[in-house]
């Protein structure tokens, strides 16, 4: 069942538009508009206002923190019916992308389905966290991945992540909402939590002067894997996330991968509901909002 149309929806002289947006989080103080700060919502609203010639308020599916990236953030805005009628989706995308810098890209825009709300209609969010595990950092991956020099054990990372799947009280991994006490449970349903080792870039044979096709096994060679060491991706999907939840989980799982905690400590920390027992949150630049799911 879809939620009822919002005030400002199509029944009050406005048309709701849905946009899919990708951004590099580095230059922004997060998604949500803040007076006097450069935010994704701020630059996006400015571009939309310029194109639609009307003030807009942006609602997003997942408010990302400062430094966190997105490949598929979903937002909605309500435009007066007459302004909306003047907009062609493909032209709007082109106009917005001309106004926005390379850090924010509108992938798609169009009138939203009836009753659509970018935040309230979303049934799941998916995040990815990248970790480069190598003795020295990789300058090309530095903006997108946390560099961890200590060797990480993939089996331990995975055992720790397994404990997260299911519905749990995630208080131990959440930054407190202002005005709420530590006694308030924060239930979230995690439907997927997995670590993937992205394949190491194969070393090509050194025979100078060799001509001809490389073995098939090298076809994945030229990808964006690190210069050396390993690139790990943690992916997690849940109905919703509380503040800093993915980063707190990754910080704790990496402590498990390093051997500072045991995999069994992860469910124990969950049950304790004690934020002091979780590790420091992983840095924001490794995190990307990958997808938002809606009911069909």
Residues taking part in catalysis: 65
Per CB under 8 A, does 6 bind a second copy? no
4 or 143, CB closer to a second copy?
143
For residue 48, give the nearest of 39, 58, 38 by alpha carbon.
58
Query: What are the angstrom distances between the C-alpha of 213 and each of 65, 200, 221, 222?
Result: 45, 20, 13, 14
- Give me the least distance between CB of 71 and a second copy, in Å please: 4
For the segment 238-267, give every residue that binds a second copy (CB under 8 A). Answer: 239
Q: Is 60 left (phi over 0), alpha (psi -120 to 50) or beta?
A: beta
Stretch that binds a second copy, among 52-60, 219-227, 249-257, 273-281 (CB under 8 A): 219-227
- Give me the least distance between CB of 230 and a second copy, in Å please: 13
Pairing status of strand 122-133 against strand 146-148:
parallel
126 or 171, CB closer to a second copy?
126
Pairing status of strand 69-80 against strand 59-60:
antiparallel
Per CB under 8 A, does 72 bind a second copy? yes
For residue 111, give the nearest of 6, 9, 12, 15 by alpha carbon.
15
Task: Tell which one of 85, 184, 227, 271 touches a second copy (CB under 8 A).
Answer: 227
Task: Tell which one of 97, 99, 169, 272 touches a second copy (CB under 8 A).
Answer: 97
Report CA torsion sign: 270, 284, 143, 238: positive
Per CB under 8 A, does 219 bind a second copy? yes
Q: Of all helices (H) and strands (E), which one includes residue 131?
A: strand 122-133
Per CB under 8 A, does 216 bind a second copy? no
The 3-state DSSP class for residue 59 equals: strand
Per CB under 8 A, does 140 bind a second copy? yes
Task: Tell which one of 24, 78, 117, 265 touches a second copy (CB under 8 A).
Answer: 24
Per CB under 8 A, does 183 bind a second copy? no
70 or 278, CB closer to a second copy?
70
Cα 161–chain centre separation: 18
8 or 105, CB closer to a second copy?
105
Residues 75/57, Cβ–Cβ less than 8 Å: no
Cβ density class 167-193: b for 16+ within 10 Å, e for less: ebebbbbbeeeeeeeeeeebebebeeb
Give the C-alpha separation, 195 to 234, whole Å.
4
Q: How many chain residues are in contact with a second copy, going by CB under 8 A?
A: 63
Per CB under 8 A, does 200 bind a second copy? no
Per CB under 8 A, does 268 bind a second copy? no
Per CB under 8 A, does 296 bind a second copy? yes
Q: Which residues bind a second copy (CB under 8 A)?
A: 22-24, 69, 71-72, 93, 97, 102-107, 123-124, 126, 128, 130, 136-144, 165-166, 189, 191-192, 194, 196, 198-199, 204, 206, 208-211, 213-214, 219-224, 227-228, 231, 233, 235, 239, 288, 290-291, 293, 295-296
């Amino acid at each position: 069942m879809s939620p009822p149309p919002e005030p400002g929806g199509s029944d009050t002289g406005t048309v709701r538009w849905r946009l899919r947006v990708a951004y590099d989080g580095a230059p922004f103080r997060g998604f949500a508009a803040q007076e006097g700060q450069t935010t994704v919502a701020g630059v996006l609203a400015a571009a939309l206002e310029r194109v639609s010639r009307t003030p807009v308020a942006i609602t997003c599916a997942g408010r990302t923190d400062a430094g966190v990236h997105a490949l598929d953030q979903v937002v909605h805005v309500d435009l007066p019916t007459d302004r909306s009628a003047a907009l062609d989706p493909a032209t709007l995308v082109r106009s917005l992308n001309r106004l926005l810098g390379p850090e924010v890209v509108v992938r798609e825009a169009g009138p939203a389905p009836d009753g659509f709300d970018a935040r309230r209609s979303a049934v799941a969010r998916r995040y990815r966290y990248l970790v480069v595990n190598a003795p020295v950092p990789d300058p090309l991956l530095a903006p997108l991945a946390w560099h961890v020099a200590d060797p990480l054990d993939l089996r331990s990372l995975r055992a720790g992540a397994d404990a997260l799947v299911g519905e749990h009280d995630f208080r131990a991994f959440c930054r407190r909402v202002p005005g709420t006490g530590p006694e308030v449970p924060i239930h979230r349903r995690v439907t997927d939590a997995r670590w993937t080792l992205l394949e190491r870039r194969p070393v090509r044979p050194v025979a100078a002067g060799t001509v001809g096709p490389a073995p098939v096994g090298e076809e994945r060679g030229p990808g964006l894997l690190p210069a050396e060491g390993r690139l790990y991706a943690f992916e997690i999907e849940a109905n919703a996330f509380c503040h800093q939840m993915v980063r707190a989980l990754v910080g704790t799982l990496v402590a498990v991968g390093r051997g500072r905690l045991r995999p069994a400590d992860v469910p124990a920390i969950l049950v304790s509901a004690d934020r002091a027992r979780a590790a420091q949150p992983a840095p924001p630049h490794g995190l990307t909002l990958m997808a938002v799911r809606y009911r069909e």
